[in-house]
Each structure stands twice: as structure tokens, then as C-alpha cells.
């Protein structure tokens, strides 16, 4: 017997991609879907496209609202969702036509708090790249195994080289989400996915998953995460503070703290890429160097930079940490230029 899945799709300024996304959802072989479209004050024709699809498919609900950001839009969907399962789809992505059928068949009679798809297909400007998260189906209810998955939200396992932090390759039990009081943080201007899942994985008692991959994640150069933002240093440090405060207030293990340090180094690298060494930064080199020196001395950044051993840190992060420990910034700047020349 089918159980309903609530598919929440926040929409903003994606007119060139929206029809492909919606077609991939409404044409699913798994029919028991509640499709919630949140038109987040989109300035293009996305709102009209949503209404067009809703007029043709009774499973679709449309919310038109003033722009409030991705987190607020997802929360609006969560507030009205009635399905047993919650799924998130980004409006510039799309799914294979049998995506939900495969996930539900793989889940079978299990009723975990969170159910993983096997990975995602990254759609890059030059082609696609399949990212496999798991080599076999699994079910975790052991504290130690659940902690490993929680670590994987912020510190990517060596085997896959990326985190489990995205919400769109998972099914969440609506009962679990509501009982846990899980919502996307409205104060987060970046990393909101990781912050949501960091807490969700901590609260979960059972997490399971499969090997099936059917979600296409479109990588755009104009995405929010890839844009210059003068507020990036403050946004990024705020995220690190949230992770640290949560872990310490909730008595998390040393492994979790080390994973947070690994993520902290990734956040520092993101700050360098999108602010300090971004070509759109109009500050002088001297001004930038002074700001980087101040950034390095922020308490949680300093803690991650000076940590002696961390099994979750990659080789590139080890090099970054070494460069950040140096008093001068010139070698860090030189390494950054070389990286840009040869490609990441």
C-alpha cells in the first residue's frame, strides 16, 4: 500500500529550469505525492508556471509569498505537509522518473527517521558526475554508527569526499521532523542545509539507506554558494559558532569536535575563495592581509588551525592549516594563485 510523500520545492528565479524540474516530479511512477510549490517572490515567470501546473494536477499546492529566502520557503512547506515522508527538491534540479518508486521499494517495511538515496548525479557545465554515497544498503540504530553518519554531515568520509549535508537526497519521516521540532534556521544565510541535517542526524534513532541514485543536482556558477558576498566572513564564522555551541552544550564526543574542526577549515577556505581572494573584492592587498590576520585569531578558527592531529582533515586542509599558521600571508596568497592556475 502506498504511503504519501510530501515533495517540497522552493522556487526563486529559475524559469529556464523549472519545467524540467516539475515534469520530473509530476511524472513519477510513484503517484501518491503531495507536491508543494513555494513561489518565494520570484521576479520572473516562475509563479505563473507553478499555477499552470497546479491547474493540471490536483496533487499540486502553490504558495505565493514575498521573498523570504530558502529556509523560510522550506519551512512554509513543512508547515502544511501531510505526507508520511518529506522530500526536498531544488527547483533547478530534476529526478529520474522512477526516483520515488525506487526509494520506497528499497525502504520496504522499514520506518527509519531518515532514509538515504544512494547518492546524486552532479550536473556540471561540462557534463555529469555520479557521486555514490554507499556501496550497499544499510540500517543504523547503534549510537556509534549514528555518530559516524552525523560526522559525515560536516566532515566528508574519505571514500566519497563530500558531506551528507544536503536535504534533497533523503526522505525524512514527517512524524520525526515534527516531534524533533526541526526547522531550517531563518538566521542562516549560508550552510543552512548542513545545520539542519547536523541537528536531524543527532536526534535520529534510526537512519537507513540504499544504493539507488536518481537525483540530478545542477551545479550553477551563479548559485548562492558561489557568489561574492561582503558579509561572507561573518556568515561563515556564525555557522562555525553554531556548530561549536551545539556540540558543547549537548556533550558531543571528541570525534564530533574534530569533525567540526575539519569543517571549520573548509569554511575558512570558502571565506578565502568567496571574499578575501575573490576578484570582486576591492580592498587593497595590505587591507586584505590585515583582515586575514584578524580572522585567523578568531577563537574557533584559531582552535582548528592549531589542532595537532585530526583524522578527518584532508591533505589539502593539512596544507591550508600549515599556511594559516605562518605569520606572513604572502605564501598563502601564492598558493592560492597556483591553485587557480592549475585548477582545483
Q: What is the pLDDT of residue 158?
A: 80
338 class by beta-carbon count within 10 Å (0-12 exposed, 13-18 middle, 19+ buried)? exposed
* pLDDT in the model for residue 124: 87
Task: Confirm whether pTM is higher than 0.85.
Answer: yes
Q: How does pLDDT run across 179-207, given as a tens digit for each residue?
A: 999 999 999 889 999 999 999 999 999 99
What's residue 221's pLDDT? 61
Residue ranges per domain, the chain?
5-224, 228-342
Identify the band that residue 344 occupies on the pLDDT scale cut at 50, 70 and 90.
low
The residue among 222 and 237 whose pLDDT is bigger is: 237
CB atoms closer than 10 angstroms to residue 219: 15
**Strand boundaries in 152-205, DSSP class E:** 170-173
How far from each other are the two terminal CA atoms of the chain, in whole angstroms?
48
CA distance 84 to 338: 50
User: Bridge-partner residues for 218, per DSSP?
Assistant: 123
Local confidence band at 342 (pLDDT 50, 70, 90 cut-offs): confident
Reported as half-sphere exposure (CB side, CA atoms, 13 A), residue 281 has a value of: 22
Mean pLDDT along residues 95-124: 96
Stretch 144-153: mean pLDDT, rounded?
A: 96
Q: Residue 303 to residues 107, 236, 243, 258: CA-CA distances in angstroms?
A: 41, 15, 14, 10
Q: What are phi and psi of 59, to 5 degrees?
A: -80, -10
Beta bridge partners of 119: 132
The CATH code of domain 5-224 reads 3.90.550.10
What does pLDDT average to over the chain?
Answer: 94
C-alpha distance from residue 111 to each of 1, 114, 159, 184, 208 (Å): 14, 8, 27, 23, 9
Q: What percent of the chain has pLDDT over 70?
A: 97
Ranking 80-94, 258-272, 324-338 by mean pLDDT, the lowest is 324-338
List, for residues 58-71, the tens digit of each pLDDT value.
999 999 999 999 99
pLDDT at 226 over 90: no
Amino acid at each position: 500500500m502506498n504511503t504519501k510523500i510530501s515533495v517540497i520545492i522552493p522556487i526563486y528565479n529559475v524559469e529556464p529550469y523549472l519545467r524540467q524540474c516539475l515534469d520530473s516530479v509530476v511524472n513519477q511512477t510513484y503517484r501518491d505525492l503531495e507536491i508543494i510549490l513555494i513561489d518565494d517572490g520570484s521576479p520572473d515567470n516562475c509563479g505563473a508556471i507553478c499555477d499552470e501546473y497546479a491547474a493540471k494536477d490536483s496533487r499540486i499546492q502553490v504558495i505565493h509569498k514575498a521573498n523570504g529566502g530558502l529556509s523560510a520557503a522550506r519551512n512554509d512547506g513543512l508547515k502544511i505537509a501531510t505526507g508520511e515522508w518529506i522530500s526536498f527538491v531544488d527547483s533547478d534540479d530534476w529526478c529520474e522518473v522512477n526516483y520515488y518508486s525506487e526509494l520506497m521499494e528499497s525502504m520496504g517495511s522499514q520506518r527509519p527517521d531518515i532514509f538515504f538515496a544512494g547518492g546524486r548525479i552532479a550536473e556540471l557545465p561540462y557534463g555529469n558526475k555520479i557521486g555514490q554515497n554507499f556501496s550497499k544498503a544499510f540500517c543504523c540504530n547503534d549510537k556509534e554508527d549514528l555518530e559516524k553518519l552525523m560526522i559525515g554531515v560536516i566532515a566528508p568520509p574519505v571514500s566519497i569526499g563530500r558531506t551528507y549535508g544536503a536535504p534533497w537526497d533523503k526522505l525524512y519521516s514527517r512524524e520525526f521532523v515534527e516531534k524533533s521540532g526541526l526547522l531550517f534556521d531563518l538566521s542562516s544565510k549560508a550552510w543552512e542545509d548542513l545545520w539542519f541535517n547536523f541537528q536531524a542526524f543527532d536526534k535520529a534513532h534510526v537512519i537507513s539507506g540504499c544504493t539507488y541514485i536518481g537525483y540530478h543536482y545542477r551545479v550553477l556558477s551563479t548559485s548562492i554558494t558561489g557568489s561574492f558576498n561582503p558579509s561572507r566572513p561573518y556568515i561563515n564564522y556564525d555557522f562555525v559558532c553554531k556548530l561549536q555551541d551545539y556540540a558543547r552544550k549537548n556533550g558531543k564526543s571528541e570525534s564530533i569536535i574534530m569533525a567540526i574542526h575539519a569543517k571549520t577549515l573548509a569554511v575558512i577556505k570558502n571565506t578565502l575563495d568567496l571574499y578575501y581572494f575573490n576578484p570582486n573584492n576591492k580592498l587593497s592587498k595590505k587591507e586584505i592581509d590585515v583582515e586575514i590576520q584578524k580572522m585567523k585569531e578568531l577563537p574557533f578558527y584559531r582552535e582548528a588551525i592549531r589542532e595537532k592531529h585530526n583524522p578527518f582533515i584532508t591533505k589539502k586542509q593539512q596544507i591550508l592549516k600549515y599556511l594559516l599558521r605562518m605569520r606572513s600571508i604572502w605564501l598563502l596568497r601564492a598558493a592560492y594563485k597556483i591553485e587557480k592556475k592549475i585548477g582545483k
